[in-house]
């Protein structure tokens, strides 16, 4: 072997050493960032995962032309990162979202460490690797294209599994569209209907729900409705008037949720009272939120005033808030405090009714289900409705 040839091949070995060191540092950063997060994994604000994606993508592109990079390493690492980027799917189906994501993070660290050990243990094999080989390039290209196509499927399946997990099954993404679940719980011959919904959806979704309230039953029916009041005129005008949701719904070809209380049975001119239906607003006045939560809510709602989805998304992304603050705002403020009030209204009113319906935003319902189950209610059946069709 000539001196120049030996130098060239050792250059390929040096490239592998450099790639291995960067790989293991980024994989460790990714692992530690996720493991040290005090909030839910989906609220992670670290740049570790995107930068690791960028590194592996660059490495993969280099591997198309440089045979000195071993295919088995960067293809395997890309597959693992693809599954991590798909929120741990399909392992998440067995062990949950966060455990699956941590598993794939650890797998990335393991393969990076194994790669580095392999380099030091068998350097002669890398001295002998050529700089270019068309077979290597062909296999790398096919693998790259296949992974790109496959990632669309894993991301969609991962998103569907994640939504199902964090919503406790109240929201599901299917090939038909987004479905919302009604769970019926029973205790002492009283039934509570926890009905998941969104504030924009198909017109038929809301009509079906309204028709459900009209079905004749023995005994009275109580419907605890959602909808914050604003006695102090704090909220932005667009949100109070309904123009914000109406604008979003129009852009998506959907309809905004309207009040269920409007009229009873129009065909027979029966009122809700004639049908044995009682409505009670079980929500809070917005002024009851803790001041930091109220200020953040108003700030976020102001970013939506244009009624344009893209403009609202860009504007809301500029709001500076930590993942801890956001989780506290969502769980303790928008969900927890309002669910506390709903349960108080329920305790005061439910004794006179056999059927109690709670048609609220699906984000509220996992917490409400846990509360009712802890009170001795048991799940007896479920019903699914298509809320948004694809």
Q: Which of 75, 76, 85 is nearest to 52 (CA)?
A: 85
Which residue is it, tokens 């209907």?
A: 193
Q: Do the beta carbons of residue 197 and residue 250 sit within 8 Å?
A: no
Q: Do 118 and 88 reside in the same domain of the chain?
A: yes
Q: How many helices (H) and strands (E) does the chain have?
A: 15, 9
The per-residue pLDDT for 230 is 87
Q: Do 134 and 246 reside in the same domain of the chain?
A: no
The per-residue pLDDT for 3 is 38
Q: Do 241 and 94 reside in the same domain of the chain?
A: no
Q: Do 32 and 100 reside in the same domain of the chain?
A: yes
Q: Do 276 and 323 reside in the same domain of the chain?
A: yes
Q: Do 323 and 289 reside in the same domain of the chain?
A: yes
Q: Do 78 and 208 reside in the same domain of the chain?
A: no
Q: Do 7 and 131 reside in the same domain of the chain?
A: yes
Q: Do 78 and 207 reside in the same domain of the chain?
A: no
Q: Which residue among 150, 166, 182 closes a domain? A: 166
> How confident is the chain (390 residues) per 10-residue block, as mean pLDDT?
43 83 95 87 84 90 81 89 92 92 95 91 69 79 87 92 92 92 93 92 87 77 91 84 80 82 58 85 92 89 77 77 85 92 93 91 95 95 91
The per-residue pLDDT for 47 is 87
Q: Do 155 and 179 reside in the same domain of the chain?
A: no
Number of domains within the chain: 2
User: What gap in Å lies between CA 90 and CA 101, rounded to an integer?
Assistant: 10
CB-based contacts of 369, cutoff 8 Å, min separation 6: 168, 183, 185, 194
Domain range for 131 is 3-166
Q: Do 182 and 54 reside in the same domain of the chain?
A: no
Which residue is it, tokens 């048609």?
A: 359
Q: Which of 380, 375, 374, 341 is nearest to 358 (CA)?
A: 341
Q: Which residue among 142, 166, 190 closes a domain? A: 166
The per-residue pLDDT for 6 is 42
User: What gap in Å lies between CA 224 and CA 293, rounded to an integer?
Assistant: 24
Q: Which residue among 143, 166, 189 closes a domain? A: 166
The per-residue pLDDT for 203 is 84
Q: Which of 328, 314, 334, 301 is nearest to 43 (CA)?
A: 328
The per-residue pLDDT for 8 is 41
Q: Which pTM value belongs to this model?
A: 0.82
The per-residue pLDDT for 124 is 65
Q: Do 58 and 198 reside in the same domain of the chain?
A: no
């Amino acid at each position: 072997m000539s001196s120049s040839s030996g130098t060239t091949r050792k250059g390929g070995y040096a490239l592998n050493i450099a790639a291995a060191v960067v790989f293991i540092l980024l994989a460790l950063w990714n692992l530690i960032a996720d493991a040290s997060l005090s909030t839910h994994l989906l609220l992670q604000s670290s740049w570790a995962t995107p930068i690791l994606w960028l590194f592996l993508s660059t490495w993969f592109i280099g591997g198309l032309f440089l045979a000195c990079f071993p295919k088995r390493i960067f293809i395997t690492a890309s597959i693992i990162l693809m599954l991590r980027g798909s929120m741990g799917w399909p392992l998440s189906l067995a062990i949950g979202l966060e455990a699956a994501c941590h598993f794939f993070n650890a797998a990335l660290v393991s393969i990076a460490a194994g790669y580095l050990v392999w380099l030091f243990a068998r350097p002669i094999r890398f001295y002998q690797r050529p700089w270019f080989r068309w077979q290597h390039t062909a296999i790398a290209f096919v693998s790259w294209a296949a992974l790109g196509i496959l990632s669309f499927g894993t991301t969609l399946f991962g998103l569907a599994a994640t939504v199902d997990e964090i919503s406790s099954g109240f929201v599901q993404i299917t090939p038909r569209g987004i479905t919302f679940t009604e769970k019926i719980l029973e205790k002492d011959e009283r039934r509570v209907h926890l009905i998941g919904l969104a504030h924009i959806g198909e017109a038929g979704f809301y009509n079906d729900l309204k028709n459900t309230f009209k079905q004749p039953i023995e005994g009275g029916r109580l419907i605890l409705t959602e909808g914050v009041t604003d006695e102090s005129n704090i909220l932005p005008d667009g949100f109070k008037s309904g123009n914000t949701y109406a604008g979003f719904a129009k852009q998506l070809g959907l309809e905004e949720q309207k009040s269920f209380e409007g009229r009873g049975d129009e065909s027979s001119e029966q009122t809700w009272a004639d049908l044995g239906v009682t409505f009670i607003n079980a929500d809070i006045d917005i002024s009851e939120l803790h001041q930091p939560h109220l200020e953040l809510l108003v700030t976020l709602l102001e970013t939506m005033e244009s009624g344009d989805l893209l403009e609202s998304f860009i504007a809301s992304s500029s709001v500076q808030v930590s993942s801890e603050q956001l989780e506290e705002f969502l769980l303790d403020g928008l969900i927890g405090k309002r669910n506390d009030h709903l349960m108080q209204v329920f305790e005061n009113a439910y004794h006179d009714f056999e059927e109690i319906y709670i048609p609220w935003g699906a984000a509220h319902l996992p917490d409400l289900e846990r509360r009712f189950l802890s009170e001795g209610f048991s799940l007896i059946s479920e019903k699914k409705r298509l809320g948004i069709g694809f």
